[in-house]
Amino acid sequence: MEMQQIRYFLAVCDKGSFTRAAQSTYVAQPSLTQAIKKLEDELGGELFSRERSGCRLTSLGRLVEPTLRQIFREAQTIKAEAIRFSRLNTVPLRIGMLTTIAAQHLSPFFADFQQERPHLELELVVDNESNLLLQLDEDRLDLVVSAPTSPLPAQLQSLKLYEERYVVVFNDKHRFNQLSVIDLAAIQSEPYLDRLNCELRETLRGVCMGKQIDLYAAYRSNSEEWILGMVRAGIGVALMPEFSVPKKVDELKFRYLSDPEIRRTVCAIYPVSATANPEVNQLLGRLRTGFC
């Protein structure tokens, strides 16, 4: 299977006819038709059924189209990265960041690290932990910053960066503003804003069940920004890691959660083989001196 065959196949998918696909790819129609015929022979069946108005995908065509499109996109990404590397003489360092880790706490560190190394290009990918670890395993990331709640696979190592406590966040007019600490039982009388991406969400649910506490979720979101916006608007209260609460925002207040106290440990996660990469080693060294 050749990339050119995939490109012609996708052109026919997008244009709906062999003629328009040939025009869009600047190739003679017989050459395009022959390339797709070779692809069909390799895949074991017809990919398109021709009609008077054009053509449409067969069942086999619909089956393979998403995968071939993904292959083509990844090939284009690799090509673009290679061109950028050769033209700019930069070294891309790909870092995965857990969705719930606040940019305000780590972005100054990465800014300083990059300024010290102008040849280095940083790429930050924000996602949930399972997707980030999958990309790390597939060598699409060099390092992941996360707060793991279960043991890591044997091929991965971790470097503890910092711990942070969970806090109760509310707006400046809320009655909690008069308290010094807040326990979990006090929250059940308030509209609760449920953070769907919270890695300790199931742990919290188990604690609530054990203490017979029912947190009424008035609002749920997978966006930290929207949760904070709802808190500022006075819709309810939320539980968040302390460094996720923006600094110098007058409408937002927080108190540390007590009974129980909940903490998470933020780590840099990397494969054992990553230590052979000098840029990753430099980053780990700066993380050790900057956080550990």
Model confidence pLDDT, tens digit, residues 32-46 = 999 999 999 999 999
For residue range 184-196, what is the model confidence (pLDDT) as tens digits? 888 888 899 999 8
For residue range 243-284, what is the model confidence (pLDDT) as tens digits? 989 887 888 999 999 888 889 999 999 998 887 788 888 888
* CA 280 – CA 262 distance, rounded (Å): 31
Parallel, antiparallel or unpaired: strands 156-171 and 182-183: unpaired
Q: Which amino acid is at 270?
A: Y
Region of poorest pLDDT, from 100-104, 170-174, 247-251, 257-261: 247-251
pLDDT at 201: 84
Domains and CATH numbers, the chain: 3-86 (1.10.10.10), 88-162+265-291 (3.40.190.10), 164-264 (3.40.190.10)
Closest CA to 243 of 223, 213, 266, 218: 266
> Is the per-residue pLDDT at 212 higher than 70?
yes
Average pLDDT over residues 216-232: 90
Task: Please give the model's pTM, rounded to 2 decimal places.
Answer: 0.65
- CB atoms inside a 10 Å sphere around CB 64: 18
Q: Token pair of 112, please?
A: 């300083």
241 φ, ψ to 5°? -65, 145
**Between the CA of residue 155 and those of 118, 139, 219, 268, what are the distances in Å?**
31, 13, 39, 14
158 φ, ψ to 5°? -135, 150
E-assigned strand segments in 78-208: 91-98, 120-127, 143-146, 156-171, 182-183, 192-195
Q: Token pair of 17, please?
A: 């006819």
pLDDT at 70: 92
Q: Which amino acid is at 66?
A: P
- CB atoms inside a 10 Å sphere around CB 31: 13
169 φ, ψ to 5°? -105, 135
Q: What's the pLDDT band for 86 if we cut at 50, 70, 90?
A: low
pLDDT at 107: 87
* CA 238 – CA 253 distance, rounded (Å): 11
* CA 9 – CA 14 distance, rounded (Å): 9
* CA 238 – CA 182 distance, rounded (Å): 12
> Is the per-residue pLDDT at 230 higher than 60?
yes
pLDDT at 95: 94
> Is the per-residue pLDDT at 176 higher than 90?
yes
Q: Are 143 and 127 in contact (CB under 8 A)?
A: no
Burial class from Cβ neighbours inside 10 Å (0-12, 13-18, 19+) for residue 209 reads exposed
Average pLDDT over residues 123-143: 90
The three-class DSSP label of residue 34 is helix
Q: Which long-range contacts (CB under 8 A, 24 or more apart) does 44-51 make?
A: 47/9, 48/12, 50/18
